[in-house]
Amino acid sequence: MDFLLSLFQQQISNIKSPAVIMYVNISESDIQFLPGVGPKRALLLRNELNINTFGDLVRLYPFRYVDRGSIRKISDIQYESSFVQIQAEVESVKREPKRLSVTVSDGSGELELVFFRGIKYITDELKPGSTFLFFGKPTVFNGRMNIVHPEIDSPRSGQDHGQGEKVMVTGIYQSSEKLKNAGITAKVMNKMMESALKRVLPEIRETLPSYVIKEKGLVPLRYALENIHFPKDEISLAKASYRLKFEELFLLQLSLLKQKYIRSRNSVGIMMKKVGTDFNACYNSLPYTLTGAQKRVIKEIRKDLTSGHQMNRLLQGDVGSGKTMVAVLSSLIAVGNGYQAAIMAPTEVLAKQHFRNISDYLKPTKAKTAILTGSSTAAERRKISEDLQNGDIDIIIGTHALIEDNVIFKNIGLAVIDEQHRFGVDQRARLWEKSKGGIAPHILVMTATPIPRTLAMTLYGDLDVSAIDEMPPGRKPVETIQAGEKQRDAMYGFLKRQIALGRQVFIVYPLIFESEKTDYQNLEKGYEDVVRAFPFPPYKIAIVHGQQNNKDKEFNMDAFVAGRANILVSTTVIEVGVDVPNASVMVIESAERFGLSQLHQLRGRVGRGSDKSYCVLMKGQKIGNESQKRIDMMCRTENGFELAEEDLKMRGPGDLEGTQQSGLPITLDIASLAKDGNILNDARAYAQSVLDKDPDLSSEEDRPLAAELRKNKYKLGGKDYSKIS
């Protein structure tokens, strides 16, 4: 009664006229009013798991399940086992400073149970000679196996004890140390979930139309929610899991495809009917033939530019596949139709490199180009600003400086954004807003990070996607080698032989300064080691990292690019775009720390010239199975798309470029892009068929879908980014 009274008071606290109260939405009730929660636990649930309401809790799904039906013998437990359940008798209880050690036995062996909190209660409960069920995860400390803070239950009766009982599947939920310390254990979380379901399930309404449920053979939503948390059996769990995964991916793809449809129908695009003389002059003077993939992509872009709708296209291409040339030729189409083009790069180093290369490509043409970066002088900025407004610059290359308010174009028609993952959506939107006459420029975003198909369908589901999946002929493969610390002297000898041949070397470290928490090689110590191994003279070493000021970074990078330095010691700041054809060796220290995609990006910095190139993966003495698997795969293949797919499976979706997983711009509650690719493909195809019949979702039977899409969950980051590429 106290709970209902508190809940009722919460619902009406801001309503002056009780007569208007018709319905209390239990799902939206504050989580603190759930029995067993209260204000303190509610604050923790909000901060740790973003759970604010009963409904939020019900939509927190188990990330795995354990069998609480079977009982293991202590003698059968291995330290690498996941959660286990034993029934054992307490033999001894030993109270030590800050911890309690309890030894239990089941006749087959002994096991230590360790407790750091609730010691008084546990001492009173666990008397020698008493028998209990204990459930937890085995760990090893000082060579001895134990279970820390196991859950404790009453023992089974004699007839239930032993092997072979029926399966009792229990969900395990995401947690944290703060939650555990506050007493919100797996057992408590299950009780809270049971309480929330009892209150929320009766009011749950279907989110999908009846025809979708029937055609896709889905179980009802109430059944799915009940069995995802407390499955009756494995079949019920499978049905519940499929229903919830399909719904999540279907609604996401429906939202993305609907945004794409609305844009294609409503957006007016600049018509670029001509190719132009500059395009032909550049194309005909190329010293090589474009690959079939490059030609295919240019045709796709050309079709977009003549469609009358705004182009929003993602171009994927492995390192060295020729994306820059596609960007140049696309920009020249814009110039040939009387418009300007902007090419935006994430770093000054990459912008300058683009400017040098593109200037060479444009020599046979009349197109005028310029570069604008953060280090451009005030006088240079004024001149560039005037020339842009007058139309005296056809193609502008630059960094974030291009989106500053004082940069005004006469008539921008195409914006090319290189390495798009380095730019925020709001930054890209500002480039968009620089168009004149209310017609947005065509957008081409490029990435050298191969994106797995399932991830591309989610992150860029509202864009058209092109891929350059073919490397230019004659590009030599990079030989990839792995080595341990014992081979370091031999590796240094190999580098000296390469330098004697006139080659240059990258040495990349994952850290800038030494960390107490890791024994990975770091740039600070590594630089000292390299200087000792390669003394001046004859060797010259440059160093580049993110904590340097731009002047120092530019000086050292220019020294290496110009060939004045033999070795560049660096962090991953050189990962994107640095083009030094004479560099033939990439050494990656502590390679086990990097993900596959980042290792592949770093490897792509060599092999850009005519010389045989190498990538040396230096690994630590202690390396896990997953890390070794990544390194082995790097040595086995150079296919970036294959590596990206494997990276997704091994590390999950997130920031595939870096060592830290920052997550997707949209949160998936239950589906996994790494594991549920087949469901995603089916969901996208079915979403397309629904929109083919009812593009606006305006029919009576599709009203539930329209209502679901109005929720922020199905827009990336809670925003509608369909107009921003």
Asked if 528 and 569 count as a contact pair (C-beta separation under 8 A), the reply is no
Predicted confidence band at 482 (pLDDT cuts at 50, 70, 90)?
A: very high
pLDDT at position 16, please? 43
- State the total domains in the chain: 4
Please compute, for residue 242, the number of CA atoms within 13 A of its CA located in the half-sphere on the CB side: 14
Residue ending a domain, choose from 622, 637, 652: 637
Please give the pLDDT value at position 620: 85
Q: Would you place residue 632 in the very low, low, confident or very high pLDDT band (cuts 50, 70, 90)?
A: very high
> Same structural domain for residues 488 and 436?
no
Per-residue confidence (pLDDT) for residue 717, from 0 to 100: 40
- Is the pLDDT score of 720 beyond 50? no
Closest listed residue to residue 603, CA positions, set 612, 611, 613? 613
Residue 518 has pLDDT above 60, yes or no: no
How far is Cα 437 from Cα 280, in angstroms, rounded to an integer? 29
pLDDT band at 165 (very low <50, low <70, confident <90, very high): very low
Confidence of residue 660 (pLDDT cuts 50, 70, 90): very low
Residue 550 lies in a domain: yes
- In this model, does residue 456 exceed pLDDT 50? yes
Both 148 and 36 in one domain: the answer is: no
Give the pLDDT confidence score for residue 469 in this predicted structure. 79
Report if residue 697 sits inside a domain.
Answer: no
Rounded to whole angstroms, how far apart are CA atoms 266 and 607? 45
Average the pLDDT over each of 94-98, 367-371, 505-509 and give the range with the smallest value. Answer: 94-98
Tell me, what's the pLDDT at 21? 39
Q: Is 401 a member of any domain? A: yes
What is the per-residue pLDDT across 225-263, written as a single tens digit (0 to 9) for each? 999 999 988 899 999 999 999 999 999 889 888 887 877
CATH number assigned to the domain comprising residue 52: 1.10.150
> Which residue is associated with the tokens 């939405």?
25
pLDDT over 60 (residue 169): yes
Q: Which has the higher per-residue pLDDT, 475 or 386?
A: 386
Q: What would the pLDDT profile of 527-537 be if each residue is shown by its tens digit?
A: 999 999 999 98
> Which secondary-structure segment (H or E) carries 542?
strand 541-544
- The full 3-state SS of 66-132, as one line of letters, equals EECCCCCCHHHCCCCCCCEEEEEEEEEEEEECCEEEEEEECCCCEEEEEECCCHHHHHHHCCCCCEE
Q: Are residues 545 and 562 in the same domain?
A: yes
> What is the rounded distance in angstroms from the CA atom of residue 60 to the CA atom of residue 34?
15
620 and 598 in a single domain? The answer is: yes
372 - beta bridge partners?
Answer: 398
Taking residues 411-433, what's their average pLDDT?
70
pLDDT of 23 higher than 80: no
Residues 505 and 429 in one domain: no
> What pLDDT shows up at residue 496?
96
Token duo for residue 607: 């092999």
Determine, yes or no, domain membership for 455: no
d(CA 428, CA 342): 12
Both 17 and 83 in one domain: the answer is no
Both 41 and 109 in one domain: the answer is no
Rounded to a whole number, what is the largest CA-CA distance in the chain?
Answer: 94
In a domain, 513, yes or no: yes
Average pLDDT score over residue span 16-31: 62
48, 158: one domain = no
pLDDT band, residue 8 (cuts 50/70/90): very low
Structure confidence by residue, pLDDT tens digits, 338-368: 999 999 988 887 888 889 989 999 999 999 9
CATH code for the domain in which residue 588 is found: 3.40.50.300
The pLDDT of residue 174 is: 85
Q: Which of 9-23, 525-539, 700-714 has the lowest mean pLDDT?
A: 9-23
Looking at per-residue pLDDT, the higher value among 473 and 542 belongs to: 542
Q: Is residue 696 scored above 50 in pLDDT? A: yes
**Mean of the pLDDT values across residues 44-68?**
89
The range of the structural domain enclosing residue 87 comes to 70-165
The alpha carbon of 133 is separated from its chain's Cα centroid by a whole number of angstroms, namely: 40
Strands 504-508 and 583-588: parallel
Least confident stretch, 198-212, 245-259, 598-612, 639-653: 639-653
Give me the percent of the chain exceeding a pLDDT of 70.
83
4 within a domain of the structure (yes/no): yes
Note whether residue 134 is domain-resident: yes
pTM of the complete model: 0.65
Least confident interval from 215-229, 381-395, 638-652: 638-652
Lowest mean pLDDT among 41-45, 410-414, 458-462, 630-634: 458-462
Position 565 scores a pLDDT of 94
- Mean of all residue pLDDT scores within the chain: 83
**DSSP-derived secondary structure for 458-519:** HHTTTSEEEEE--PPTTPPPEEEEEE-GGGHHHHHHHHHHHHHTT-EEEEE-SBSS--TT--
| Residue 666's pLDDT band (cuts 50, 70, 90) | low
What's the confidence (pLDDT) of residue 688?
93
Confidence of residue 514 (pLDDT cuts 50, 70, 90): low
- When mean pLDDT is compared across 78-87, 303-312, 685-694, the lowest value belongs to 78-87
Residue where a domain stops, chosen among 637, 656, 681 = 637
Residue 55 and residue 145 in one domain: no
Q: What is the pLDDT of residue 70?
A: 79
Average the pLDDT over 570-588 and give the result. 81
Residues 559 and 439 in one domain: no
Burial 544-583 (b: 16+ CB within 10 A, else e): bbeebeeeebbebbebbbeeebbbbbbbbbbbbbbbbebb
Using a pLDDT cut of 90, give the percent of the chain over it. 44
Integer Cα distance of 621 and 95 in angstroms: 38
Please determine, for residue 13, whether its predicted confidence score (pLDDT) is greater than 70: no
Do 300 and 383 lie in a common domain? yes
- The reply to whether 80 and 152 lie within a common domain is yes
Predicted local confidence at residue 306, as pLDDT: 94
Which of the given ranges, 73-82, 233-242, 418-427, 567-576, has the highest pLDDT on average?
233-242
Q: What confidence tier does 683 reach under pLDDT thresholds 50, 70, 90? A: very high
Lowest-confidence pick of 45-54, 201-210, 420-429:
420-429
- 340 touches 396 (CB < 8 A): yes
**526 contact partners, CB below 8 Å, separation of at least 6:** 507, 509, 569, 589
**Residue 34 located in a structural domain:** yes
Report residue 525 as tokens.
Answer: 């110590």
Confidence at 80, pLDDT banded by 50, 70, 90:
low
Q: Mind listing the pLDDT tens digit for each residue in 378-415?
A: 999 999 999 999 999 999 999 888 888 888 899 999 99
pLDDT band at 157 (very low <50, low <70, confident <90, very high): low
Quote the CA–CA distance of 247 and 258 in Å, as a whole number: 16
Reply yes or no on whether the pLDDT at 158 is more than 60. no
Residues 553-573, mean pLDDT to the nearest whole number: 88
Q: For position 157, which CATH number holds?
A: 2.40.50.140
- pLDDT band of residue 549 (cuts 50, 70, 90) is confident
Between the ranges 181-185, 515-519, 661-665, 698-702, where is the mean pLDDT highest? 698-702
Label residue 142 exposed, middle or buried (CB < 10 Å: 0-12, 13-18, 19+).
Answer: exposed
Across the range 55-59, mean pLDDT stands at: 94
What is the CA 140 to chain-centroid distance, rounded?
Answer: 32
Asked whether the predicted pLDDT for residue 416 surpasses 60, the reply is: yes
